[in-house]
Amino acid sequence: MDKQMDKQMDKQHKGISVKDSLGYNMINTSWQIKESLRKAFLANGFDITSDQFAVLLGLWQEEGISQLELCQRTCKNKSNLTRILDSMEKRELIYREASKQDRRSFNIYLTHGGKAIKDSLVAIAMDIQKKLFIGISDSELRGIESVLQKINDNIEKVQLGRSEN
């Protein structure tokens, strides 16, 4: 019985390309968006990556938050965020200050330079978003967001061992 099922699955999967998979398309689209944003920033004189922009967005919303909170808000793991923050600190966009509640923890703040570029970067990002979403209706975008949220909810359930088949 198992051999028969294996043959059936092999038949079903013959001819399927990686580029036909949802995962590939999600990763590729994400990378293309990030690259478009980086190139637009660079073309306007800002050497800022999309990851750095995500950190700036988080800090423009609320500065003085912990690195852990920033990890959660930007969907970055601790080591990646540390690397991003190191780069931003060298470029004098942010600074870290030891937490008064926990000296092992650091709170992240914007420098004057990090605050000064907000309007320009947000305008560039909004322009890119507008160009990338041409021909896509608001309801289509809401549908994509809804499907992605459902997938994320399902991933969380699977990771917690509560999958509902």
Output the pLDDT for position 86.
97
The reply to whether 143 and 107 lie within a common domain is no
Domain membership flag for residue 165 = yes
The reply to whether 60 and 76 lie within a common domain is yes
Question: Could you tell me where the beta strands, DSSP code E, fall in 17-151?
Answer: 65-66, 94-98, 106-110
Give the mean pLDDT of the chain: 89
66-106 tens-digit pLDDT? 999 999 999 999 999 999 999 999 999 999 998 888 777 89
Q: Name which residue leads in pLDDT, 131 or 17.
A: 131
The reply to whether 79 and 92 lie within a common domain is yes
Output the pLDDT for position 22.
85
When divided into structural domains, the chain yields a total of: 2
Q: Is the pLDDT score of 40 beyond 90? A: yes
Domain membership flag for residue 89 = yes
Least confident of 12-16, 94-98, 122-126: 12-16
Residue 48 belongs to domain spanning: 30-134
The reply to whether 39 and 63 lie within a common domain is yes
Q: Cβ–Cβ contacts within 10 Å for residue 105, how many?
A: 14
C-alpha span between 46 and 29 (Å, rounded): 23
Residue type present at position 159: Q
Q: Is the pLDDT score of 9 beyond 60? A: no
The reply to whether 56 and 113 lie within a common domain is yes
Output the pLDDT for position 4.
58
Least confident of 10-19, 28-37, 91-100, 108-117: 10-19
